[in-house]
Amino acid sequence: MTIEDEQPSVELSKVAVSETHGEDSPYFAGWKAYDEDPYHESSNPSGVIQMGLAENQVSFDLLEEYLEHHPQEASWGKGASGFRENALFQDYHGLQSFRNAMASFMGQVRGERAKFDPDRVVLTAGATAANELLTFILANPGDALLVPTPYYPGFDRDLRWRTGVNIVPVHCDSSNNFQVTPQALDAAYSKAEAMNIKVRGVLITNPSNPLGATIQRSVLGEILDFVTRKNIHLVSDEIYSGSAFSSTEFVSIAEVLEARDYKDSERVHIVYSLSKDLGLPGFRVGTIYSYNDWVVTTARRMSSFTLISSQTQQLLASMLSDKSFTQNYIKTNRERLKKRYQTIIEGLRNAGIDCLEGNAGLFCWMNLSPLLEKPTRECELDLWNTVLQEVKLNISPGSSCHCSEPGWFRVCFANMSEQTLEVALKRIHQFMEGRKTNGGNLNFLLI
Amino acid sequence: MTQTRSDTESDSPEQTSTGMRLIVPLQGIVHGRGGLILGSLIPCAMFYFLQFYLKRHRSPPSEKPPPPPPSPSNSAANVAELPRTLSRSSLSLRGSAGHAHVSSRADSIARAGDSPYYVGLDRVLEDRYDELNNPNGIIQLGLSENTLSLDLIEEWLSKNLSDSILGGGLSISGIATYQPFDGLMELKVAMAGFMSRVMGRTVSFNPSQIVLTSGATPAVEILCFCLADHGNALLVPTPYYPGFDRDIRWRTGVELIPVHCRSSDNFSLSITALDQAYNHARKRGQKVRGVLITNPSNPVGNILTRETLCSLLDFAREKNIHIICDEVFAGSTFGNEEFVSMAEILDSEDSDKDRVHIIYGLSKDFSLPGFRIGVVYSSNENVLAASKRLTRFSSVSAPTQRLLIAMLSDTRFVEEYLQTNRKRIRTIHSLFVAGLKQLGIECIKSTGGLFCWVDMSRLIRPYSEKGELELWDKLLNKAKINATPGLACHCIEPGWFRCCFTTLREKDIPVVIERIRKVVETCKTI
């Protein structure tokens, strides 16, 4: 009876049509440009070099070597019944052996300065899921989390999209190297209160993305005092903990808690993952480590929506339990990242560019504010676009990280070969030279 | 391998029984406006009743004081789960001064966990039957899992990938880096082919319309997030899979409106009942966004006829709502009826492509629940786009994708597996149903799924949820059999139980039947 074209189309939900996925921001637009014209040493030497993806490719060889020399580790385990049990295993507690391995690995990454209880490890398919899950558990729709700026652009999506929770930024600036201060925390909290929004917790990333720097012990203490005072939660996203250039430079919130005898620890939750430290983002392995029994139980149940494949758990359980392997991996990985960092810092310095002093992560926080005509977001985005279109580098503009000071950019250095990094540095050098000689459009792609 | 198209089974004539005469007026009350009150009182009463039963039989509660500092050397190293923090005493702890608040969503999770469905599963974990090591343990009939054909997969693995998890020559850099969150195209292609085979090759699936997820559980949730807002509702024919209550309502805030089906119709879907439920919802001011069906049905095991599917589509079109069709058991059919996928109905009805969405996965048909592979399949571009983005929270692990690409692309193996698996399900099903029949217990005639829908209504006293729970309790604690009671599935008629039989070997069946017989005897002496 009703003609098809007159039929109103069937409606979708608000979540489905919302823009909170954020894929229209420059952070992601740069990725699209890269996808369309990706750099390749031989086949596309003038393509876009991807410096906007925080991936760790510097230590693959160690993983491959391990698997080659330990084929039995990469087996289903326990002989004939191993595969069957594994294939059927969908218990949201996760494989005990894998949880043990994760707890042990997390301890190792922290130089054994903190110990982790396997029974507090909740498994999720990636840290993305872990952060969202914690948000679902700790806050109601309309509530807020305080997040120090600049922060990982993905948080806007991961913490807010389906949860309906808000992010209230805690503004940090270069005057003190973007460290969080109690004043900034208080200001953000008051701002939320003024908007009638209930704050449920603070979410920090340590080591910080995009700063590439660890949070100092004293600052961690101040943050812990703040959340205790306000009786709210603290989520510490420590996915880059194994990417600190030296083991002693990174202080985990776990260490601070231990020093305080775990007083008031039930408000603290740590997120970890193997995507950055172990370079295995495709495996989808994340964890929530909570000092709160209720949160552990609830998160476990909720992890039903985001279980890690039992096959993957089995594979990694053996590998991560091998202490000689993990110790060597952690040490070597740190050294290589440090070397990369030094390369890029030097290269940038030679080009007349300063960076924030960093000591961790897969990226550096570059200061291009001297190049801005005016210290505005628009000028920053213009510069970003120039770098993307002319210099053919995809770097992440600070505004997509909610940085309150325009002109800062995150530059990743671990997701490419050393040669590619050199190429990128040359391009930057030539770009800066070009601007000195009054912005003539040099063809700097003749490398 | 098309099955011969058989005529649709004619509906069995209306049967009235004492039970029905009690139920129908109740049905009228529950659906009416005043039924809202009863509708909330009854679940509350059930909840408190359940608590009573659970307190009697729960393993000794370890009432915890406020959590002490975690001390690795003291914590139990064994698998025993954290002490249950569901008891009311823990709830009050949470509210005490100095303890940071948790969300109301976290709260509601605790309550959901006390359904007999989950309680039974937990009990089996603690005391699982093993012929040699634990002959007095609980036999699991409450989890729809299929272990009948895992040997075929094991064989394939040892032939093709030696014993390596990574499959021999796979280099890690190929699978370790970030992959598209919605799955590798190669796997989508293989999955599309697999789904087509499963559904009898009468319909083909487009790989670009597939979004891969870590299991069917997140697939269902993702679709609900896309199709309905918080507070909206889906119509769901009862009895339905107990997991839906948690999976759908938990985080999305979407309500489930039960649409009751009856034994007189063999629990088959009635469009009239759907229509009534839709209208009642409207009167209450509740927005219905779609219908959720499972085909083959869980827990009944019947297959929806082509006719019914078409009528359902007509209904959805008329109301301008969605259809979510969960087809996870499509490959687990064992009768002579052909299975018709919603996708096939769509083929001929172009105009409705935007409103039909299919869920699939490899946990049931391919016996790999641990590997976490689910599918959202839709022709609606916007739903696909949103689902692709949302599945970043629930992606399939890369090594698993690689393994499955290899397995599912081996079409000869897949065919052999599907055929053999069906035969084996049929065999166990017949034996199990026959065994129950000897005890005077009937099941709904079913041709799909890993379970049967068992009528124990004559064994319960009184003929009510209370009687049903008592029988469930007896089965669990005396007979040591975990079966899922109908009330966990929102069945409107008391006394029905879902019994999954595909984790049983032929030799286990007499053991199970004997245990049930003992309980049957005690019921008869009441």
Which residue in A143, A156, A158, A237 is the catalytic one?
A237
Confidence of residue A70 (pLDDT cuts 50, 70, 90): confident
pLDDT for the residue numbered A432: 94
Where residue B320 falls (left for φ over 0; alpha for ψ -120 to 50; beta otherwise) is: left
pLDDT tens profile B297-332 = 999 999 999 999 999 999 999 999 999 999 999 999
pLDDT recorded at residue A10? 84
Is residue B380 pLDDT above 60, yes or no?
yes
Residue of A nearest to B174 (CA): A282
pTM confidence score: 0.86
Spatial separation of the C-alpha atoms in residues A363 and A347, rounded to whole Å: 14
pLDDT digits (tens, 9 = 90+) for A116-125: 999 999 999 9
Which segment, B45-49, B55-59, B98-102, is predicted with the most confidence on average? B98-102
pLDDT digits over A143-192, tens only? Answer: 999 999 999 999 999 999 999 999 999 999 999 999 999 999 999 999 99
Give the mean pLDDT of B99-112: 65
3-class DSSP state of A438: coil
User: Is 90 exceeded by the pLDDT of residue A340?
Assistant: yes
Q: What is the pLDDT of residue B64?
A: 34
Tokens of A114: 């903190």
Which of A74, A280, A305 lies at the smallest CB-CB distance from B221? A305
Active-site residue identified among A39, A66, A152, A189: A152
Per the annotation, the verdict on A263 as an active-site residue is: no
With CB atoms and an 8 Å threshold, state whether A7 touches B101.
no
Phi-psi region of A384 (alpha: psi -120 to 50; beta: other; left: phi over 0): alpha
Q: Describe the crossing of helices A323-350 and A60-69 by its angle, rounded to 10 degrees.
A: 160
State whether B369 and A90 contact (CB < 8 Å): yes
Burial of A285 (0-12, 13-18, 19+ CB in 10 A): buried
Q: Does the active-site annotation cover A117?
A: no
Tokens read off for B226: 């896309």
What are the C-alpha distances in Å from B491 to residues A88, B109, B498? 28, 22, 11
Average pLDDT of the residues in A88-107: 95
Which residue in chain A has the smallest CA separation from B68? A262
- Asked if A112 has any chain B CB less than 8 Å from its own CB, the reply is no
- For residues B112-126, give the mean pLDDT: 83
Question: Which of B101, B175, B401 should we substitute to test contact with A (largest number of A Cβ atoms within 10 Å)?
Answer: B101
Contact B177 A71 (CB under 8 A): no
By Cβ distance, the residue of A162, A261, A284 closest to B395 is A284
Q: Which of A10, A88, A96 sits opposite B355 (nearest CB)?
A: A10
pLDDT > 50? residue A131: yes
Which positions in chain B touch A83 (Cβ < 8 Å)? 150, 153-154, 157
Residue type, A293: D
Q: Is A240 on the interface with B (CB under 8 A)?
A: no
Measure A200 CA to nearest chain B CA, in Å. 8
Does residue A239 carry a catalytic annotation?
yes
A351-376 residue pLDDT tens? 999 999 999 999 999 999 999 999 99
Hey, are the CB atoms on A23 and B389 less than 8 Å from each other? yes
Taking CA–CA distances from A2, the nearest residue in chain B reads B318
pLDDT class for B80, splitting at 50, 70, 90?
Answer: very low
Instruction: Answer yes or no: do B85 and A293 touch at CB < 8 A.
Output: yes
Mean pLDDT over the full length of chain A: 92
pLDDT tens-place string over residues B173-209? 667 677 899 999 999 999 999 999 999 888 999 999 9
Higher pLDDT residue, B522 or B248? B248
Q: How many CA atoms lie within 13 Å of A180's alpha carbon, on the beta-carbon side?
A: 33
Q: Look at residue A442 in the predicted model and tell me its pLDDT.
A: 46
Using an 8 Å Cβ cutoff, are B256 and B233 in contact?
A: yes
Return the higher-pLDDT residue of B71 and A274: A274
Residue percentage of chain B with pLDDT more than 70 = 76
Tell me what pLDDT residue A437 has.
77
Pairwise CB contact (< 8 Å): A138 & B103 = yes
pLDDT digits (tens, 9 = 90+) for A321-331: 999 999 999 99
Average pLDDT over residues B212-217: 97
B47 versus A421: the higher-pLDDT residue is: A421
Lowest mean pLDDT among A215-219, A440-444, B44-48, B88-92: B88-92
| Mutation for testing the B interface, residue in A3, A4, A15 having most B CBs under 10 Å | A15
Confidence grade of residue B46 (pLDDT, cut at 50, 70, 90): low
Q: In angstroms, what separates the C-alpha of A381 from chain B's closest C-alpha?
A: 25
Q: Annotated catalytic, A115? A: no
Q: What is the pLDDT of residue B112?
A: 55
Do the chains contact at A71 and B164, CB–CB below 8 Å?
yes
Bigger pLDDT: A201 or B53?
A: A201
Query: CB of A312 within 8 Å of any CB in chain B?
Result: yes
Kindly determine whether residue A162 and residue B390, on different chains, have CB atoms separated by under 8 Å. Answer: yes
A312 CA to centre of own chain: 21
Helix (H, G, I), strand (E, B) or coil at A121: strand
pLDDT > 50? residue B15: no
A21 touches chain B (CB under 8 A): yes
Please tell me the distance in Å from A23's CA to the nearest CA on chain B.
9
A259 touches B: beta carbon within 8 Å: no
The one-letter amino acid code at A74 reads A
- DSSP-assigned letter for residue B230: T
Model confidence over B138-154: pLDDT tens digits?
Answer: 999 999 999 999 999 99
Minimal CA separation from A204 to chain B, in Å: 17
pLDDT in tens, A195-228: 999 999 999 999 999 999 999 999 999 999 999 9
Cα–Cα dist B178/B180, whole Å: 7
More confident residue, B170 or A187: A187
pLDDT at position A135 over 50: yes
* Residue A447 pLDDT level (bands cut at 50, 70, 90): very low
Query: A20-59, pLDDT tens digit by residue?
Result: 887 777 777 888 889 899 999 999 999 999 999 999 999 9
- Across the A:B interface, residue pairs with CB atoms under 8 Å apart total 272
Cβ(A135)–Cβ(A145) below 8 Å: yes
- Residue A213 phi/psi, 5-degree rounding, is -140, 150
Tell me what ipTM this predicted complex has: 0.92
Out of A12, A139, A309, name the one closest to residue B226 (CB).
Answer: A12
Confidence of residue B89 (pLDDT cuts 50, 70, 90): very low
Residue A346 at interface with chain B, using a CB cutoff of 8 Å: no
Q: In the predicted model, what is the mean pLDDT of residues B375-389?
A: 96
